[in-house]
Each structure stands twice: as structure tokens, then as C-alpha cells.
Chain A
Amino acid sequence: GQQLNQSPQSMFIQEGEDVSMNCTSSSIFNTWLWYKQDPGEGPVLLIALYKAGELTSNGRLTAQFGITRKDSFLNISASIPSDVGIYFCAGKGVGSEKLVFGKGTKLTVNP
């Protein structure tokens, strides 16, 4: 079935650094969603993207829907300790309501 390749798998950074992670798909998507999950909790929606080329910000977070419709990235600027967690990309293919997820990027921020 559809799969998303999310990278990197994990990141260890210093507080204040910027972070970038991305997802690619083998097929065209019409929706990209980015989530953050804290241990033992459900994923929380960060940013939703619906149009190729769309660039959307949520505070220090910025995400873009790639113009090829097969990729998306998430940037976090000036990281802080509470940014720690697992970030997931998710997407829906054209004509499908099936929401598939990447395997996540585990972010560790050292104070």
C-alpha cells in the first residue's frame, strides 16, 4: 500500500537551533498533515496543507506542500526544550480518504 518515507528518523539538537524534517511519497498526495506526539498521548495536529506549493506557519513551525505533490517538509525555528517529541507526517492520496503516516522523527533538544 501507500507508504511515506520520513527523515531523519531521529535528531539530537541544541536549544536554539533550527530543525528540518521531510516526507516523500511515491504517489501524488492532495493533503499533507504534520503532527506532534508526546509519550502516551494521541498525536496533536500542527499544520495542515491542501495545495501544492502552499507554505503555512504556526508560530515557530513552518511547513510546505511540495510542488511535485509528492513531498512536504516541516521546519522548527529556534528550538526549545518543549519541542521534544515525535513528529509525524501524514497524507492522503488523490481520490482517497485513507490517511497514511510516516514512521516519525524523534526530536531531542538539549538545553
Chain B
Amino acid sequence: SQTIHQWPATLVQPVGSPLSLECTVEGTSNPNLYWYRQAAGRGLQLLFYSVGIGQISSEVPQNLSASRPQDRQFILSSKKLLLSDSGFYLCAGGTAGNTIYFGEGSWLTVV
């Protein structure tokens, strides 16, 4: 079965600093990959998803970007963090037509 790894688990960053959250997938190839943000423990907001290397679909225009440099690697970035970027970020992955699994999440606090 597939496993989703994401890191770091916890991050405290000052306003204006850059961000890089990384996600990798084990146990499958050519997965669909997703980044979600969850605020206040409710509701998963889809930020980006990717169906292949270099293919990124952005769902919510904002201060973040995503990249997929390798088949099983998905990176969430920001050049300058805002206070409103704080939240719980979740990476998910799965093959087309199959189940989607989540990583353990990354807590980001922008101060």
C-alpha cells in the first residue's frame, strides 16, 4: 500500500520569510498528488493538485505555489509568508481511480 510522507511536521516562520513543505509518496508510481490547507480543525481547502510531473492545477489564487519536480515528490512553497498562511497543511496522494491517502500533516505558524 502507498504511504505519504510530509515534512516538516511543525514550522514557526516569521512574516515575509519563505516556505517549503515537502511531500513524497511510497508504494505507487505516477500518483495524483494534492495539497490541502485546514484551518481551525474543520474543512479541507484544496490548494493544488497534480496528475503528473510538472503539471500543477491551482485551485485558490493566493500567496502559495506548488511544484512537482519528480514523479513522487510534491512541494508547497511561498516566497513571502503572510500571517493568514498559518494553518494545518496536508499532502495526499493516490493513483487515478484509486483511493487517496493522506500524510500526517504540517503545522505552520506564521508570527
Measuring CB to CB, which residues of chain A are less than 8 angstroms from any residue of chain B?
A: 1, 31, 33, 35, 39-45, 48, 50, 86, 88, 90, 97-101, 103-104, 106
Contacts and interface: CB of A to CB of B under 8 A. Distances in A.
Contacts of B97: 31, 50
Nearest to B36: A101
Contacts of A31: 97
Contacts of B90: 42-43
B85 interface: no
A103 B43 CA distance: 4
Contacts of B103: 42
Contact of A86 (B32, B41, B57, B59): B41
Contacts of B7: none
B42 A99 contact: no
A40 B57 contact: no
Contacts of B107: 40
A46 to B, nearest CB: 10
A45 B103 CA distance: 11
A98 B57 contact: yes
B46 A101 contact: yes
Nearest to A47: B99
A15 B36 CA distance: 32
